[in-house]
Every structure is written in C-alpha cells, then in structure tokens.
Amino acid sequence: MNQRAMQAIVAVWMFCMAGSAVAQCQAGMPTVPGAGCVPRDYIENSNRGGGYQQQPQYAPEVPGPRYRDSPPPPILPVIEYGAHAMTTDNESLFGGTGTLSSNSAQKLVLDFCRQRTGKECKVLAVFKDTCQGFAFDRKNTPYRGVDNDPRKAVREAMGACIRASGKAGQCRLWKLPICAGNDYVGSDFNASKKWDSNEYEAQVRSWTATAERELR
C-alpha cells in the first residue's frame, strides 16, 4: 500500500470517529477537538476566566408584609396651645402661642413675663385651637373671653367685666386676644402682625368701643 492510499484511509477513519462523536453528543452540545462533547456553559465560563460551576442556589425569598390590604395610619391633627400670664400685682399682661402642650404654653408665658418685668408672675388661663382675650375693670381684675372668633372672645370678656362692675365704661382691653391653631376666623386680625405700636393701641381702643356698643 503506497503512502497516498494510507493517508486516505487514516483521513476516512478520523472523519468517521468525529462523526460518531458528533452523533453521540446531545443536540446543541459543541465538540472540542481532542475533548469530545463539552457542555456549552463550560465554554462560556472558561471564556470568562473560570471553570465550569453550577449556578448558585438561593433560599426562596420570604414575602414581605402586605401593606396594600391594610388601611393607612390616621393623620392626627396638630393641637396648638396658648396661654396668658400676668404679674401678681396685676400690672402687666403677656400672652403666647405656638406650643404643643398645656405645660409648654404655661412655661413659655411665665418665663417671658418674669424676664420682661423681673417680677413674680401667674398664669391666667390656657387655651387650645381657639382665641383668648381679657378685659379689665378699674381694679385691673381680669375677665376672660374665649372663642374661635377673636372679636367674639373680646365681647365675651367685656360682657363678663361689665356684668361684674355693674355698668359700662368701667372695662377695657389691655391687649387684643391671641389665637392658637388654624381654625380661628377674622382676616382683619391677621393683619395685626404688620401694625406698629401706635396702630396696635388704636385697634385695642376700637375693639373695646365696638364690644361696648354691641353689649348695650
């Protein structure tokens, strides 16, 4: 047998072996010369620099709480407190708002009263989400008025003072009422933040006179 015939026989044998290997591989599984059938992910992982590895196994996720079926938490309204304090000699009156508890409101006005006067002070009354004002008789005795409308609070205070004193002309406001929260009415009262001292005193006299006329 010459050399050319021998090479042809070897070539046919190698082709048959390769065909046999391909036929035995699973569908889609590649073959590598000298290695036979090789899983595809082995080649892909090898190209990324690593050998064949199984995919990591993870524990099944625990489902989180379902808030969709639960009602949302209620929105609690903010309650705002205010208070008035006065020196024990009944000579000076102070008020303050914007606190979230009765104790805080009392401490606020007591501290402010003491700092401004250097005297001992007392709390007259605490209120919340409304307006509070005081009228005074000739002896500086305070009479309280509370209402969502600051003008009605003034009429209430003036009415209590006039009934106690027995006649009109004996009572007056020292200051306008103050309001806590967002439920009070009276857009003209909101303008008080822009008044200077002279305009404020003029408004105090005007509110006093208006309340007296309405109470006659």
Dump pLDDT digits (tens) for 19-46. Answer: 444 445 555 554 444 445 544 443 333 3
pLDDT the model gives residue 193:
67
Rounded to 10 degrees, what is the CA torsion of 63, 65, 70, 75?
Answer: -150
The pLDDT of residue 186 is 63
* Range with top average pLDDT, 20-24, 65-69, 84-88, 190-194: 84-88
Report the sign of the C-alpha dihedral through residues 107, 77, 148, 156, in that order. negative
Q: What pLDDT is stored for residue 73 in this prediction? A: 67
Cβ–Cβ under 8 Å, residues 125 and 131: no
Cβ count near 174 (within 10 Å)? 15
Distance of alpha carbon 64 from the chain centroid? 26
Beta carbons of 129 and 185 less than 8 angstroms apart: no
Mean pLDDT value across the chain = 75
Q: How far is CA 210 from the centre of its chain?
A: 41
| pTM for this predicted structure | 0.62
Dig out the tokens for 111 from the structure: 């501290």
Examine the pLDDT at 88 and tell me if it is beyond 80.
yes
For residues 133 and 187, the model is more confident at 133
Residues 6+ apart with CB under 8 A from 86: 92, 93, 94, 113, 121, 122, 124, 142
C-alpha 151 chain-centroid distance: 32
Is residue 167 very low, low, confident or very high in pLDDT (cuts 50, 70, 90)? Answer: confident
What are the phi and psi torsion angles at 169 (to 5°)? Answer: 90, -5
DSSP letter at 120 equals -
8 vs 91, which has greater pLDDT?
91
Mean pLDDT, residues 89-99 taken together:
92
